[in-house]
Structure 1
Amino acid sequence: MNTLAWIGMLGIVILTLLPLAKKENRTKEEMRKVIVTLAIILGIIITVLVFGVNYLLALIVGFSAMIVFDKKTYTKKRLSIYGSIILIIGIAGFAISRENPEYVLNHLKDNPKTTSLYLAENGVTLITYQSDVVRPLASTVKILIAAEYAMQIDAGQLNKDSLVPLEDLNRYYLKNSDGNAHEEWLNAMQSEGKIKNNEVTLHDIAKGMATYSSNANTDYLIDLLGISAINERAKALGLTQHEDVYPIVSAILIPNQIKSESMNEKQLIKKLEAMSMEEYRTLAEELSEQMKEGTIKAGDVTYGPSTDVQKVWSDRLVGASANDYGKLLAAISNDQFPKTASETIRDLLEWPMQLNESNHDRFVHLGAKGGSTLFILTDALYAEDHNGDKIEIVLMTDDLNFWQGMLIRNNMNSFESKLLGSEDFRLEVQKELSEM
């Protein structure tokens, strides 16, 4: 359940309990309704969190249950109204939950100013749809950080088995800012017995960045590897359109840092947008250093920016072109890194092979890293099948509204899977996008 889902549940609880504020409303019948409603809400939460049922499906079932237990339901007029509502919700739910790879293709066609698609097969570039446009990468930038990490391991500058205190990572952890990615990684480390004396290995930190997309782990690695080294790696790899990397978490703190007491949100956004990227990056680096030193204690920071402020942060995330990441994926897939570096970066990115055993039936190698904010959805993947055929895919979308983001998230996997498995679909996408 995401934040909006929790807000929705809380809203229902408040609206349910509100009538009881008046003593005359506390009748047996009203109390029965409240108990039934709260029980259904609790059931929805348990069903989603414990049994992993789709939230929308659980909500529809819960709404239906509320209708069934309401005595006033059983009139012709009410049955007709509720039946229509359930039908509409059911149709909307089906549209959202069903796999529809064509939705992603249509979104690309309809939004050329905010989308990119790159696809290469066996070294031949087939699709370069807006692929030379620089767009925010979100967490897909972590592929470049993984590449620099792998190279420093290969050069002997770092030891992947060295131990790092969790306290050092927690300095960069801003609660509720990464969709619980860091907490999920910590829980996994705990269940696998990989936390000893409150320490984890450096390589597990890197895997937490790649597999779980922990931003705290990412900023720790950015500091350890060195920003200049990461940016120089991008140049050495020929990523000609890659913007300079800077810390992710500390950039979230920039609005609080520049806001004055007399400043309203509109003025704050105007000031943020007026900052040059050089000023913005420099401030992010300074704040990250303060988090590392403990001058700023991340645990004391309350994260809760408005959607408009988050949009500014999202727009200013490190950017690059789809062409750049297609080139980077090809270098990984074709083992153009030194041997140890190649093994290291594959170990970080090929988590889909470990996550889903059925992928072994289709692929020898499958590596991926995606990224998202409220407004961005990006993904970069490479694959090699048992015949030795290789494909690299980079998909980038920006300026998504809530509905678009939800549908693309639901359909991206089926879109990419169909691209990987069907030559006819690849040719269809190539033809459709080349005509734009």
Structure 2
Amino acid sequence: MNIYAWIGLLGIIFLTLLPLLKKENRSNEEIKKVIITVVIVLGIIIAVLVFSVNYFLALIVGFIAMIIFDKKTYTKKRLLIYGSLILVVGILGYTIGRDNPNYVLNHLKDNPKTTSLYIAENDVQLITYQSDVVRPLASTVKMLIAVEYAMQVDAGILSKDSTVSLDVLNRLYYKNSDGNGHEEWLKAMDSEGEVKNNVVTLHDVAKGMITFSSNANTDYLIHVLGIENINERARILGLTQHEKVYPIGSALLIPKTEENALMKEKQLIENLKEMPMKTYRSTAEQLSNQMREGSISFADLTFDLSMKLQRVWSDRLVGGSANDYGKLLAIISNDELPGGASLIARDLLEWPMQNNESNHERFVHLGAKGGSTAFVLNDAMYAENHNGNKIEIVILNDDLNFWQAQMLRYNMNSFESRLLGSEDYRLKVLKELSES
């Protein structure tokens, strides 16, 4: 459930309880209605959080339950109205919830200016659809940072077992800015007993960057590894279209440093768009340094950028091409990193094998890193099956509206699963994209 879902459900509870503030509204009948509504809403929350029920499905069932328990429902007029609503909502729910990998394919076909797809099999490129176009990588860039980490550990520059204070990491955390990834990682570390004397290992920090996509962990590793080293690694690996890396989380604070009490949001957005990229990157670096040192504190701030400001941040994220990340995936999958760096990189990226036992039935190796904002949905993965066949897939989607983003999220897994498991489907995708 995202923040908007929480706001909606908690808003229902608040509005339901509000009339009870007046004594004359506290009849047995009204109290009964309130209890039913609150129980249904809590049931939706429990179904989604505890039993992993699809949010929209739970919402539809809850809506139907409210209608059933409302005595006013049972008139011809209301039955007709509610029946029509249920039919419309049911069709909408089916459209959203059904497994439809072709939705992703159709989105790629219909949006060539904002999408990319790269697929290679056994070192042979099969699909290079708009794959040379530079697009915002979002958290997918963390794959490059993971490789530089692996290289420095293998070279003895860093130690996997060196300790990192959670206090330092938390200074780099901008609350609610990464989909609660950092907080979920902290909970996992605590439940697994990996936090000792308020410190964790550097390797756990790197895992938190990939598995939970913690932006705070990412920015910390950027400091430790060195931005220059990460950018140089991209050059050495032949990622010719990769833009320069800079801290992710601190860039969200740039609008706060640029605004003033008299400035309207429209002017602030224009100022941010006109800021040279070199200045934008250096500002993000300066803010990140100040956060790490504790000279500025954002511990009491909660992520609250408007969607228009988030769009500026999203558009200015580190960019790269699907070709670049297809090449990076192949380097990892083919164990082309020197020494033990490949094993370290695999340990970080192959979390799907560690978190889902069923993947072992299909693959010997499966590594992935996605990336998303309100406007971006990316994924990069490599796989090797038990017959030794290898495949690399990179999908980049930008300039998404709310509906497109939600539908892509629902269907991306089934699309990727079909690509990984069916040569016929890969050939279908190739044919349709070639003709579009």
After TM superposition, is the score higher than 0.5? yes
Q: Does 1:242 align with 2:242?
A: yes
Matches within 5 A, 1:334-413: 334-413=334-413
- Equivalent in the alignment of 2:16: 16
Q: Which moved more, 1:135-144 or 1:76-85?
A: 76-85
Q: TM-score, normalised by structure 2?
A: 0.98
Give CA deviations for 1:112-149 in whole Å, capped at 9, x if unaligned. Answer: 01000000001110101000000000000000000100
Q: Which amino acid aligns with 2:315?
A: D
Q: TM-score, normalised by structure 1?
A: 0.98
Matches within 5 A, 1:295-306: 295-306=295-306
- Equivalent in the alignment of 1:425: 425
Q: Which amino acid aligns with 1:309?
A: L
Aligned with 1:240: secondary structure? coil
Q: Which amino acid aligns with 1:8?
A: G
Q: Which amino acid aligns with 1:429?
A: V
- Equivalent in the alignment of 1:308: 308
- 1:13: Cα distance to partner? 2.3
Q: Which amino acid aligns with 2:389?
A: D
Give CA deviations for 1:241-261 in whole Å, capped at 9, x if unaligned. Answer: 000000001000000000011
Q: Which moved more, 1:133-142 or 1:28-37?
A: 28-37
Determine the C-alpha separation between the residues in 1 that align with 2:298 and 2:84.
Answer: 49
Give CA deviations for 1:361-403 in whole Å, capped at 9, x if unaligned. Answer: 1111110000011110000000111111110000000011111
Determine the C-alpha separation between the residues in 1 that align with 2:375 and 2:299.
Answer: 26
- Equivalent in the alignment of 1:76: 76
- Number of aligned residue pairs: 436
Please list every run of 5 or more consecutive structure 1 residues that lacks an aligned counterpart in the other structure: none
- Equivalent in the alignment of 2:106: 106
- Equivalent in the alignment of 1:208: 208
- Equivalent in the alignment of 1:156: 156
- 1:23: Cα distance to partner? 5.1
- 1:336: Cα distance to partner? 0.7
Aligned with 1:178: secondary structure? coil
- Equivalent in the alignment of 1:199: 199
Give CA deviations for 1:19-77 in whole Å, capped at 9, x if unaligned. Answer: 44555444332232222212211222222222222211221111111111111111121
Q: Which amino acid aligns with 2:138?
A: A
Aligned with 2:305: secondary structure? coil
- Equivalent in the alignment of 1:293: 293
Please list every run of 5 or more consecutive structure 2 residues that lacks an aligned counterpart in the other structure: none
Give CA deviations for 1:337-383 in whole Å, capped at 9, x if unaligned. Answer: 01310100000000111111111111111100000111100000001
Determine the C-alpha separation between the residues in 1 that align with 2:188 and 2:294.
Answer: 26
Q: Which amino acid aligns with 2:252?
A: I
Aligned with 1:189: secondary structure? helix
- 1:17: Cα distance to partner? 3.4
Matches within 5 A, 1:39-50: 39-50=39-50
Q: Among all aligned residue pairs of Structure 1 and Structure 2, give the percentage whose two residues are the same amino acid.
A: 72
Q: Which moved more, 1:81-90 or 1:99-108?
A: 81-90
- 1:327: Cα distance to partner? 0.5
Determine the C-alpha separation between the residues in 1 that align with 2:413 and 2:275.
Answer: 37
Determine the C-alpha separation between the residues in 2 that align with 1:414 and 1:159.
Answer: 38
